[in-house]
Structure 1
Amino acid sequence: MNLNAVSLAIAQISFTLKSLSKKNFNSSTIEIANLISEHGFEVERHFYRTLVTYLDLESIEQNSTSIKRSENIHLTYWLQELPSLISKSNFVTLICYAFDTAGTQKSLKLSSHINGFLTSLCKLFKLTRAQELLFVFALRNSIHTELQQLTHEHIEQRLPDFIRIASGDNGINELGLAELSVEAVHSLVLLIQQYISNESIEPLTTTEDYERFLDVLRKG
């Protein structure tokens, strides 16, 4: 791989994101997609890391209601990317690198006492419940202990209802599982199985509900 070409692609992505506007949005996103396709992982990783820096994460931490999706072109871009990002095989690596860098650079000042940060973030990102769990499970691999703790608490709050609803008549559609790729659903099931095996079933759900949940996904 031509490292100089990769460096130029990274610089171009930084410039394109900095100058992103409603007027050049379509052409800019196409240009970035082409650069990622041509140069691969390093450029892709840089793209998501840089895009996250344009999100007002500190306002989310403070439970600010001032963030308006329609006025934030970078958030619009993020929302456009999320469905395909979640389905990528290297999703965990990409999302953790992006948010870990934000934490290291202090654009994201995490505290284990922040209430509702992940809930507000997932709401801002308009994630389905299934996407939300995938997103939060991915962030469990963060290098920042504060973020690890927040994800653990969030999963403990969300997972019992998720399993219960998924076992219902319309649970697959209600949770957004039907919108995920087969690979993403498989990843989510594995993550849930690993989490429950580590935490034990009883504090989160009953064995019966858990087995019914797995049966529904197998049949779906």
Structure 2
Amino acid sequence: MNVENQLKTPLTQIRNLVKHVNKRNFNENSEQIKQLIQDYGVDADRSCLRYLFTVLNLNDPTPNVNAQLQAKLLGAHLQRQLQCSSFVTNICIAFDQHFAKQKSLKPIGLAELIGQVAKHTGINKLCECIFALAVTHSSHPELRQSARDSLRNSLPELLNSYLGQNAATAAAASGLHDISFDLLQYLLCCLGEYVTPQLEKQFLDKLREEFPRELVPLVLAPLLYRGATTTTAAKSSETDAEEETTNSNTSSWSSSNADNLNEVGIEDIYDHLCEIIFTNQVCA
């Protein structure tokens, strides 16, 4: 049996769970969907995400209860993508297929597409930003541009929320309190394109407070302590150069002594030995 046939039954189950979700069975259906994805892996994960985007209707200003719950399922699924190493591919595949059915969107609607998804699904600001960053890799140029435009607003909002006076409240509001190190690394690599240098510096300074140099994770060290890393590398190079010079001098000294020894003739050595032997005999 091939993979497609193996997945046919669980995918049908997932679609039925999404289709027939209601207030009473929402939690149960959500858990069953999660379990099916765990059992059948990334293909089931992507198929579920595609289907959830398919049933999402952004053009309906007053969605019914069933549509609201389906959007909530999508939001929960997008939040779980933050823990998935293949989240960029998963989101792009699903959202590209959704966009293919939304070609009638006007430019205004397209510009607000990411924000509308966030609004309907209820995802937090971090998830919205990661979702937008993933969509910047879309195969559709219109989607890539829409995601970039969205990030120029949402990413500064995320960082400003995190830099609030109450650190605990700010972190909870932004969603940055439970971000993985790998995801934070991905976020840091993209900051320069979407936020001002001043805001980027403030965010990096805040992270350095939370991750001192001696405790910083390896994946974040080059991004948080670039200057220190460069200085350390320079010192290491200087040390290596000094060691090389010392070794060179030692080698030169050894070579010089060897040359001096080679200049001593065998006759001189023989005469010296004879003198020592003769002296010892006289003393005896």
Aligning the two structures, in what range does the TM-score lie when normalised by the shorter sequence? 0.7 to 0.9
Deviation at 1:205, TM superposition (A): 1.1
Change (3 A) 1:84 1:112: same
Change (3 A) 1:111 1:150: farther
2:160 and 2:26 map into 1 onto residues whose CA distance is 41
Deviation at 1:47, TM superposition (A): 0.7
- Match for 1:205 among 177, 192, 196? 196
CA RMSD in angstroms comes to: 2.9
1:73 and 1:108 map into 2 onto residues whose CA distance is 25
- Match for 2:150 among 142, 151, 154? 154
Cross-structure match for 2:174: 176
Q: Which structure 2 segments of 5+ residues have no match?
A: 211-284
Deviation at 1:161, TM superposition (A): 4.5
Change (3 A) 1:164 1:189: farther
Q: Is 1:5 the counterpart of 2:6 in the alignment?
A: yes
Q: Which moved more, 1:25-34 or 1:91-100?
A: 25-34
Q: Which structure 1 segments of 5+ residues have no match?
A: none
Cross-structure match for 1:217: 207
SS in 2 for 1:57: coil
Q: Is 1:101 the counterpart of 2:91 in the alignment?
A: no
Cross-structure match for 2:247: none
Change (3 A) 1:80 1:90: same
CA contact (8 A) 1:172 1:178 kept: no
Tell me which protein shows more helix as a share of its residues: 2
Provide, for residues 112-149 of structure 1, a one-character-per-residue CA deviation record: whole Å limited to 9, x for no partner: 44343322322232233222211211111111111111
Residues matched between the structures, number:
206
TM-score (norm: length of structure 1): 0.76
TM-score (norm: length of structure 2): 0.61
CA contact (8 A) 2:58 2:116 kept: no
Cross-structure match for 1:29: 30
1:178 and 1:125 map into 2 onto residues whose CA distance is 19
Q: Which amino acid in 2 is paired with 1:131?
A: C
